[in-house]
Structure 1
Amino acid sequence: MTSTNNVRLGQPTLYATDVEATAAFYRRVGFEEAYRFPPTGDTPPAFICLNRGTFYLTISQIDVIRQQTGLPKVGRTTNRAFDITVIVTDVDGVVADLARAGARVLVEPRDQPWGDRHAYVTDPDGNYVQITTHADHDISQFSEYQPEWDTPAAS
């Protein structure tokens, strides 16, 4: 378990049916375990907190969240309202590694007109995970750039 002094101002929580399997997926893309509860024993963890630098992510067991909160709509959905983006230096290598480990690849690695290279996979609970590089975004060098992309949508 890694101890860290990174300040966190918030973190997403993913609900999982198998906290260990989902945490193992995120470890493959560079996250380290910061905390788990319960910390030891034969009981599967109720949650594991991971971090990758200052990016924190909590994986929580669905049934524990339902029991502790009473929230009526915790769990899987067919609607996708978000994805988790993980920035890496080698999209192709990370996606190949995840695929070998059993991750479902939804969008193969490809270059984007703004300079990034990205792909989409799913974690063990079906959450969309974008694996991407992060270019300096000097848009003047990309001929496919569309200036209207910078125009805010009308409210």
Structure 2
Amino acid sequence: MPNSTVPISVRCMASSHKRGVCPMQFRAPQINLYVENLEVSKAFYERLGFQLTFTAVIEGQEVHHELVLDGFKLGIATKESTREVHGLTPGSNAGCEIVVWTEDTDAAIHYLLENGATLLSEPHDFLHNLRSGWVKDPDGNPIQIVCKRAQQVINSETFKKKIEEIMEEARSAGKESVDICAGDVHSMVGGYPSSNHRMASCCEVMYSMQKPTDEVLYAPPKGKGATLRIRYYL
């Protein structure tokens, strides 16, 4: 991993710390299990007394649950999402992982690589506000390092940039048009669904990017909403 992503002060601490003293701050450890069927696993652990406390949703699909029993947190994640979102190969790596939270995923990964870990997955952003990376301990067991990202400022330019990215991806794939839904765009940039969403702004940007040949496939009754869908010709 390039050293430019890690503050100099952290690199110095990582290389000069005393044996047995950790200069990084890790907290809130948990175990994640990679499973074939998320709902079957959830029901199983609920029958053991675990209670659901969190669900992660990506593109409308539930991909991860967190359950708690007597203060112990257990995560269950689909093997499919683990492969597609994080580039891991559950079953090849292991059937479970240790998770620890930190303040800076990139710096923590760098620190661990200098102290006997092996990289599994480069630090990357996912969901609306998280950044994760994976390493293997000396015995090959996977460890997820995760932190919360700084809150992104979402404005008209944010939506415009994302729509342009979607168009360029479709154009590169040789498509003549692309159908874009406001709810999908807002979910991709973050902040939706939430009570502080900027859906009206997202829709305004979508309308402003229309050319005379483009088609509004569906508009909500008031013209602005998550279901707004426009076909843009490329």
Please, what TM-score do these two structures have when normalized by structure 1?
0.40
Larger % of helix: which? 2
